Amino acid sequence: MLRIDFSKAEVLKSAFSAQAMTFCEPAVKNALVAVIDLLAIETGTRAAREEWQRAQINNLLAHCASRSSFWRRRIGSRNVKSLDLHLLPILRRRDLIAQVASEQSLLRAPDRIGVALHSTSGSSGMPTKFYVSAMNMEYNNIRGMAQYFIEGRELTKPKTLLQHSPEHFADGFNVERKGSWLYHLDSFFASGGTKHIKYFHPAIRKLATELARDEIGYLIASPRIIEPLLREAEEELLSNSGLSMWMPIGEGVDDSLREKFAQRGVPVRSSYSAEEVGLIASECEFTPGKFHVATSNVVVEIDRGEKIDMNGVELGRVLVTHLHSYATPMIRYDIGDFASLAAVCPCGHDGPTLSNICGRTKSLLKHADQSITPFYVRNSELLEIVNLREYRIRQTGYRTIKIELCAQDDVTQCQRSRLIELLKRHCTDSFDVEVQVVKEIDWGSDRKRLGYRCDIL
């Protein structure tokens, strides 16, 4: 039996409207309704969800056909009202760049919908500009908040964000405390505050002390900064800091690192998203490694035209149709990742579920025989050899790995040899490893600054 109950949420004394014949203030009401909308779509019946998605795809295709010669060529003479999505060609990154360059935004001033120019991080090696609407930004905020309701997370917990930012800070980091993180509902529910820490080559001991100064609550941070923090202050951060959940960003999480959190009863909850479309899927709270697709935002397909075998599991390219991409349409867009897709989740969730997600630039190694294997070197393994400020590992050829190091001290020949041995061990193949010590890594437009990327996929 369906039950909606706010008895376990702390509703503020001043939450409801003082106006006659009203209940909630308009902004609160709109946000609550939007959250319920998204929950109904994503957790409701499959038939209702898929019917809604078909209508949204038809609406988007009609919009494209009326405003874009680029999309008219792709749609051809097909009737958009009965068009099977799978009949459309795959949208590659180069196609997206061409459409934006020739046509700009497909939402215009008379539509009275705000539009902004956005861009990818550049971690794919091909930085891409595109347009987003005010609705996209509003959706992203509401959907992020909705996940707390889907899982029944406590709203009164604070949120701590660790963000890499190449700026000059005393001790390598800067702290900014803000108000409630509960977007649009902060006047209705009691919620924790926000602690935003920007860092660049931080003094790890001091950063750990700052983190533990306040209750951490929900921690949003990359594995690249978590690993050195745990080396310095594992007990303090995992057991004595009020850490409720770790939400990794930017990179995959090694199983052994997950296990450290699990041993202390701290859940790890990743999400799968992309700059171009926002949230794609959220990690299942019951089955780690399974990701429930955000069906209120995207339709996901797996293209098996370029299959890869990873440890006996067949993966295909992830194609995403962004249902609300009216400014720059993303229809069957090749996001650049590989994954598996199932119709349901082992937890019982009746909706599409991704697993074995591997990013083209994140964690894959391509061998000379064209086989693909995972590649993940932990920060801690590197730090055992050399005192690093920053690093980048790249596969630049079928038998070539390059690591760039920003080290605190001079790197000895012995350390170089140990680094080469470490990387070769992770490659499980005959690779040449080049070690380059630099003052600064030239990241270019790559804002994600991934520890590893494959340049030949």
Tokens describing residue 91: 């949208």
Q: What is the pLDDT of residue 445?
A: 63
**pLDDT exceeds cutoff 70 at 133:** yes
Q: What is the pLDDT of residue 221?
A: 95
**Per-residue pLDDT tens over the stretch 304-344:** 887 777 777 888 999 999 999 999 999 999 998 889 999 99
Beta bridge partners of residue 98, listed in sequence order? none
**Per-residue pLDDT tens over the stretch 272-312:** 999 999 999 999 999 999 999 999 999 999 998 877 777 77
**Per-residue pLDDT tens over the stretch 6-32:** 888 899 999 999 999 999 999 999 999
Distance CA 273, CA 125 (A): 18
**pLDDT exceeds cutoff 90 at 148:** yes
SS (H, E, C) 267-301: CECCEEEECCCEEEEEECCCCCCEEEECCCCEEEE
Highest mean pLDDT: which range of 322-326, 386-390, 417-421:
322-326
Tokens describing residue 414: 């012995």
Give the rounded percent of residues in the chain with a pLDDT score beyond 90.
63
Helix axes 26-43, 46-67, angle to 10 degrees: 110
Q: What is the pLDDT of residue 167?
A: 84
Find, among 6, 302, 278, 251, the residue nearest to 130 by Cα.
Answer: 278
Q: Are 254 and 222 in contact (CB under 8 A)?
A: no
**pLDDT exceeds cutoff 60 at 122:** no
**pLDDT exceeds cutoff 80 at 80:** yes
Question: What are the angstrom distances between the C-alpha of 5 and each of 11, 16, 152?
Answer: 11, 16, 11
Exposure on the CB side of residue 362, measured as CA atoms within 13 A: 20
Mean pLDDT of 347-374: 80
Q: Are 191 and 204 in contact (CB under 8 A)?
A: no
256 versus 117: the higher-pLDDT residue is 117
Mean pLDDT of 24-46: 95
In this prediction the pTM is 0.85
**pLDDT exceeds cutoff 70 at 417:** yes
Class of CATH domain 366-454 = alpha beta
Q: What is the pLDDT of residue 363?
A: 66
**Per-residue pLDDT tens over the stretch 222-243:** 888 898 899 889 999 998 889 9
Residue type, 113: I
DSSP string, 219-272: EEE-HHHHHHHHHHHHHHHHHSS-EEEEEE-SS---HHHHHHHHHTT--B--EE
**pLDDT exceeds cutoff 70 at 125:** no
Find, among 288, 324, 273, 268, the residue nearest to 41 by Cα.
Answer: 324
Find, among 429, 436, 381, 428, the residue nearest to 403 by Cα.
Answer: 436
Mean pLDDT of 31-60: 96
Backbone conformation region of residue 449, classed left if phi is above 0, alpha if psi is from -120 to 50, else beta: left
452 versus 378: the higher-pLDDT residue is 452
Distance CA 428, CA 414 (A): 22
Q: What is the pLDDT of residue 156?
A: 95
**pLDDT exceeds cutoff 60 at 123:** no
- Which element (helix H / strand E) includes 252? none
Q: What is the pLDDT of residue 116?
A: 96
**pLDDT exceeds cutoff 60 at 76:** yes
Q: What is the pLDDT of residue 361?
A: 41
Q: What is the pLDDT of residue 151?
A: 94
Q: What is the pLDDT of residue 252?
A: 77
**pLDDT exceeds cutoff 90 at 141:** yes
Q: What is the pLDDT of residue 302?
A: 96
Give the rounded percent of residues in the chain with a pLDDT score beyond 70.
96
370 versus 346: the higher-pLDDT residue is 346
Helix axes 223-239, 204-213, angle to 10 degrees: 50
Distance CA 366, CA 93 (A): 21
Mean pLDDT for the chain overall = 90
